[in-house]
Amino acid sequence: MNSTHKPLPAPVANFIRNIVDADIASGKNATRRWSGRPGLAEQHHAAASDPAKIRTRFPPEPNGYLHFGHAKSICLNFGLARDYGGRCHLRFDDTNPEKEEKEYVDSIVDAVRWLGFSWDEGGEKNLYFASDYFDWMAACAEYLIDTGHAYVDSQSSEEMRVNRGTLTEAGRNSPCRERSVEENRGLFQRMRAGEFPDGAHVLRAKIDMASPNINLRDPVIYRIRHAPHHNTGGRWRVYPMYTFAHPIEDALENITHSICTLEFEDQRPFYDWLLARLAEGGLIQRPVPRQIEFSRLNLTYVVLSKRKLIQLVDEKHVDGWDDPRMPTLVGARRRGYTPEGFHLFAERIGVSKSDTLIDYALFEDCMREVLNLSAERRVAVLDPLRLIIDNYPEGQREDCFAPNHPLKPELGTRTLSFGRELWIERDDFMENPVKGFHRLYPGNTVRLRYAYVVKCAGFDTDETGRIVAVHCDYMPDSKSGTPGADAYKCKGNLHWISAADAFAAEVRLYDRLFSVPAPGADGRNFIDDINPESVRRIMARLEPALENAKPEERFQFERHGYFVADRVDSVPGAPVFNRTVTLRDSWGKKG
């Protein structure tokens, strides 16, 4: 990873930073104590004050690969902790017994690390699994039962649905709502013991069936599920609902700012209700965590829905989750996108509560900006055409010097060997130049960069009329870096590789996976919007210095764009390159 350059501007204020600033100024969270690991209030009470000024968390469910949207959330949560002397926890929200897989846990850990963030800070190791909290969650549920704030409901799910009411109509109380504390306690014990089949009963919070917010109409907090859990095995027959588990997870971990996407806004009253009850009972410490919602990332030309990403993989429209065209972080990594580019992007798009659609070109610009500073330059001829310099002696070779990075002379130069036969790009020559074409055509003069000025003398074709070689004469006094060079003025400045030195390698030219800004809009099947030219595999001619490129090493191929040595398919001495992004936004323009 090239991390010497941090083009990040100072953080821009946003509504979340304003909240954090105000909370820090008021000293609100300074009374919290932290025992060094998650737990109920009794465990934290005797401990010292929390050394972290704020605590945030990134709480993925380990049921899929992380995508660009998650990167926004990761940069936001870890970025706040970094900027405010806080900590950010990585918490696997694995309370649902059926879904999670170890493969996803590992890939999420890798992705967060790859983005450059750490949950091991200040002697703490804040990597947690919500399923480790099941005992505490059950204790919270029992506290609600004991204080008359929860009851066991034995209605069928259909009855519950009907009795919940609608947006315009209040719900109806369940006939079980007035069960005694003893009866509820006994029933919940038997639910826990596995005496009932799935769906026979649920535990509900007792709030208000007439609330205008449907989420407060006695939400279900525990359900019976006879399913083994990857962490707790067969120990539990009841599992907490996400909306009950999540606030408790935050409280146990001393989270101060629980940042989530907007669809949870309607859940905030329940989040607050639940934590207020538990704090009243002394189970969790005050101040309780505060939920803050922001709008999720939506990008043009990209789908981020888990269901759609799974479909792309399952139906083999892409070559797996780490296909460089996938908007997953494993895909981004193979594509050559940089962690610094994600940081810059997250900073540029900011956070807000309004639904926005971000132009993919902005994302690509962030990547270019970072790569322009960090990637060394190399020469690659993607579509080779032979150039013969008729007046250059056969067998003669000479060294030309090319800077590794024009903005960073300290990175030195590399040697390109000039000779009589070179490779140039096929589209740098035109037999009959169109207007404005300043490159090679019969009679025209161009500079071969770092080398000589040449004048086109003619070209050869094969029996089908295809151009197979271009002939030139060079000007011996025009070599770059010599006093005579300035006497020549040419509009064209072409890259080249000597045919004797070049090596052939596979280069994959990736482009956008979808050809329209809103895949699947207006009732179309998003699969029909896949760009048929989202990848083109070619054999290119590359300069020798690229032969030993290490996997994940990134380069600018001059005049083409940014490329990375593929981390999966490259082998020592035989790299394969992926195009990350072109030098300029060329989408929709053929060039």
Question: Shortest distance, CB of residue 364 to ligand ATP, whole angstroms?
Answer: 18
Token pair belonging to 426: 């096929």
Give the single-character DSSP code of 282: T
Residue with the shortest CB distance to ligand ATP: 69
306 labelled catalytic:
yes
Binding segment (CB under 6 A) for ligand ATP, from list 17-25, 54-62, 270-278, 379-387 = 54-62
Alpha helices (H) along 216-267 = 242-252
CB distance 300 to 357 below 8 Å: yes
261 near ligand ATP, rule: CB under 6 A = yes
Token pair belonging to 322: 């780490």
Alpha helices (H) along 298-359 = 306-314, 329-335, 339-349
Of 185, 225, 306, 426, the active-site residue reads 306
338 near ligand ATP, rule: CB under 6 A = no
One-letter amino acid of 251: A
Parallel, antiparallel, or unpaired: how do β-strands 398-403 and 413-418 relate?
Answer: antiparallel
Alpha helices (H) along 375-441 = none
Question: Shortest distance, CB of residue 57 to ligand ATP, whole angstroms?
Answer: 8
Residues 6+ away with beta carbon under 8 Å from 463: none
257 near ligand ATP, rule: CB under 6 A = no
Decide whether 49 or 352 has the Cβ nearer to ligand ATP: 352
Residues 64-76 as b or e (16 or more Cβ within 10 Å = b): bbbbbbbbbbbbb
61 labelled catalytic:
yes
Cα–Cα dist 378/242, whole Å: 51
Question: Shortest distance, CB of residue 90 to ligand ATP, whole angstroms?
Answer: 11
- The binder of ligand ATP chosen from 38, 39, 60, 289 (CB under 6 A): 60
Binding segment (CB under 6 A) for ligand ATP, from list 61-69, 150-158, 233-241, 530-538 = 61-69
Binding segment (CB under 6 A) for ligand ATP, from list 4-12, 70-78, 160-168, 345-353 = 70-78
Residues 6+ away with beta carbon under 8 Å from 186: none
Exposed, middle or buried, 394 (CB in 10 Å: 0-12/13-18/19+)? exposed
Decide whether 263 or 431 has the Cβ nearer to ligand ATP: 263
CB distance 201 to 224 below 8 Å: yes
Cα–Cα dist 513/323, whole Å: 10
Decide whether 91 or 333 has the Cβ nearer to ligand ATP: 91
One-letter amino acid of 288: V
- The binder of ligand ATP chosen from 16, 29, 50, 72 (CB under 6 A): 72
348 near ligand ATP, rule: CB under 6 A = no
Of 296, 386, 426, 559, the active-site residue reads 296
Question: Shortest distance, CB of residue 486 to ligand ATP, whole angstroms?
Answer: 53
- The binder of ligand ATP chosen from 44, 55, 70, 335 (CB under 6 A): 70
Residues 6+ away with beta carbon under 8 Å from 319: none
Residues 6+ away with beta carbon under 8 Å from 291: 247, 258, 259, 260, 264, 267, 268, 271, 272
Of 32, 37, 53, 61, the active-site residue reads 61
Binding segment (CB under 6 A) for ligand ATP, from list 65-73, 177-185, 350-358, 484-492 = 65-73
What's the distance, CA 123 to chain centroid?
27
Number of residues that this document lists for the chain:
591
- Phi, psi (deg, nearest 5) at residue 519: -55, 130
Decide whether 252 or 260 has the Cβ nearer to ligand ATP: 260
- The binder of ligand ATP chosen from 28, 35, 47, 61 (CB under 6 A): 61
Largest CA distance in the chain: 103
Cα–Cα dist 98/225, whole Å: 10
Question: Shortest distance, CB of residue 306 to ligand ATP, whole angstroms?
Answer: 5
206 labelled catalytic:
no
Cα–Cα dist 561/264, whole Å: 41
Site string for ligand ATP, 282-301 (x = CB under 6 A): --------------xx----
Site string for ligand ATP, 421-440 (x = CB under 6 A): --------------------
Binding segment (CB under 6 A) for ligand ATP, from list 57-65, 404-412, 471-479, 582-590 = 57-65
Decide whether 95 or 498 has the Cβ nearer to ligand ATP: 95
> Which residues are designated catalytic?
61, 296, 306
Interface contacts to ligand ATP, rule CB under 6 A: 59-61, 63, 69-70, 72-73, 260-261, 296-297, 304, 306
